[in-house]
Amino acid sequence: MKAIVIREHGGPEKLKLEEIPTPEISDTEVLVRVKACALNHLDIWIRRGIPGIEPPHIPGADVAGVVEKVGSAVKDIKVGERVVLNPNLNCGECEYCQMGEDSLCVTYGILGEHAPGGYAEFVKVPARNVIKIPDHVSFDEAAAVPLTFMTAWRMVVTRAKVRPGEDVLVLAAGSGVGSAAIQIAKLCGARVIATASTDEKLAKAKELGADIVINYAQTDFDKEVWKLTNKRGVDVVIESVGQATWTKSLRALARNGRLVTCGATTGPIGETDIRLVFWRQLQILGSTMGTRRELHTVLNLVWAGKLKPVIAGVFPLTEAAKAQEMLEKREQFGKLLLHP
């Protein structure tokens, strides 16, 4: 099969299209012919180098396709079925898995990071990671959902517990998590303030339901939030940017506000004024991916048309480097996809 293989860390030029053997599956696994694979910032970090993840490697966590082959012990999945894959790789046996907290698993992994991913013509996964797609949903739409919508749902609903009438600040509205978080926060009944770097992205954020938008390239978003809320601040900040926005995100919070973080695309070290945390009684909450139940919840909402993935562009597998460059430069609004 053809696949994008990373054999050494570095820039986009390290993404090499190669002919490699098609994966062999075990009795409990399923082989899927990839029809669409969505990009994530995780793919860029893997290419640059993550401790413990060594080349050669095939990235790609978000995959939709057609079942090509099933293991002998797999009973409820058939060859030819249209499916999307749960990117969570967990043991199912530790105390956290027993509680249904997949992403807290002691051996937790992600498809495309800890196992060969979807930048390929075929990918194999455990049968429990396969979810059927309704006929009215395209492969592109399905592939654009799992990682970002599951992550955003856990941040907004499970961790922040957003309630009707609250003010929610969503940073990086053009990202996959950002565009999903806007929709989910509106579904919860919140007033949504979204930030982006261009007027074009801000217009698209408004289309998704953002009530107020801020161009962070032209103004300090924390000061603007302070004005918009009559010096109160917002109840929740959905933070995925990290170092570049961390201090301002904390300053934008109201008393007893909650900051939920799922990433650090601009760097992992954020300066925290501890006095601000205890005096305003702020809550800083970490969030990674989501659970099987949370993924099924967002998928059902997508299937019903209540949440909608935003697709910014589609590239052939041969242009994986070009797609990653676009993502790295933050030129897109929504998800970029590869077609093998």
Using 50, 70 and 90 to split pLDDT, how confident is the model at 81? very high
pLDDT of residue 52: 84
- Angle at CA 183, nearest 5°, toward 180 and 186? 145
Is the dihedral angle over the CA atoms 226, 228, 230, 234 positive or is it negative? Answer: negative
Q: For residue 59, what are its two tokens?
A: 């990235």
Q: Which CATH architecture is the domain 2-144+309-339 placed in?
A: Alpha-Beta Complex (3.90)
Please provide the CATH number assigned to the domain covering 149-286: 3.90.180.10
Tell me the angle at which helices 41-48 and 320-328 cross, rounded to the nearest 10 degrees: 100
Which single residue is written with the structure tokens 């103004």? 219
pLDDT tens per residue, range 162-202: 999 999 999 999 999 999 999 999 999 999 999 999 999 99
- The pLDDT assigned to 88 comes to 97
Is 189 within 8 Å of 157 (Cβ atoms)?
no
What was the pLDDT predicted at 306? 97
Q: Measure the CA–CA gap between 186 and 192, rounded to whole angstroms.
A: 7
Q: Which helix (H) or strand (E) holds 214?
A: strand 212-215
Q: What integer pLDDT is reported at residue 160 of this predicted model? A: 98
Question: For residues 302 and 149, is the Cβ–Cβ distance under 8 A?
Answer: yes
Question: What pLDDT sits at residue 14?
Answer: 96
Domain limits, CATH 3.90.180.10, in the chain: 2-144+309-339, 149-286
Say how many CA atoms lie within 13 Å of 184 toward its Cβ.
33
Bridge-partner residues for 169, per DSSP? 193, 237
Mean pLDDT of 235-240: 97
Task: Give the three-class secondary structure for 13.
Answer: helix
The average pLDDT across 139-155 equals 98
Q: How confident is the model at residue 51 (pLDDT cuts 50, 70, 90)?
A: confident
User: Across residues 266-285, what is the average pLDDT?
Assistant: 96
pLDDT of residue 256: 98
pTM for this prediction: 0.96
CA dist., res. 79 & res. 271, Å (int): 52
pLDDT of residue 122: 98
CA–CA separation, 197 and 199 (whole Å): 7
Q: Is the pLDDT of residue 104 over 90?
A: yes
